[in-house]
Amino acid sequence: MKRKIILSATTLLLSFIGYSQECGKFKNGTFKFTDPKSKEVCIITRKDNIQTERMEKSDETYDFEIVWIDDCTYTVTPTPATAQRKPDVTKPGVMTVKITKTKKDSYTQKVTIATDPKFSRVDEVFVAEEKK
């Protein structure tokens, strides 16, 4: 019995170590997902601490400051310029994004908002080829 518990604990620990290393490949790059409400494709470009978002059929962009809490979790806050230009993007408050599962070319994210405990959204986000 002890052996099973030790083996289970070791397996669990090793899975967390491997898991956290997989999130790093999604810190920078271009990604896309389908918005569940509008069914439109959202394009995300993330570089360092700035994330730019736009809907695929629009030229309007929104910039956000991101702060990585750990390898798989970050917060998203509109930049002052975006907040001034589009005040409605500040209404939800700071969003927290947790990468819960990774694959070769995609990850699953869970988005929550501190000021709205009932809000929770899960999306699969895909690596997008950057247009040159």
12-57 pLDDT per residue, tens: 444 444 444 589 999 999 999 998 888 999 999 999 999 999 999 9
131 burial via Cβ count (<10 Å: 0-12, 13-18, 19+): exposed
pLDDT > 90 fraction of the chain, expressed in percent and rounded: 68
CA-closest candidate to residue 42, choices 112, 114, 111 = 111
Residue 96 has pLDDT above 60, yes or no: yes
Contact 34, 55 (CB under 8 A): no
Contact 68, 74 (CB under 8 A): yes
Report the pLDDT value the prediction gives residue 108, as an integer from 0 to 100: 97
For residues 69 and 63, give the distance between their C-alpha atoms in angstroms, rounded to a whole number.
Answer: 19
pTM of the model: 0.78
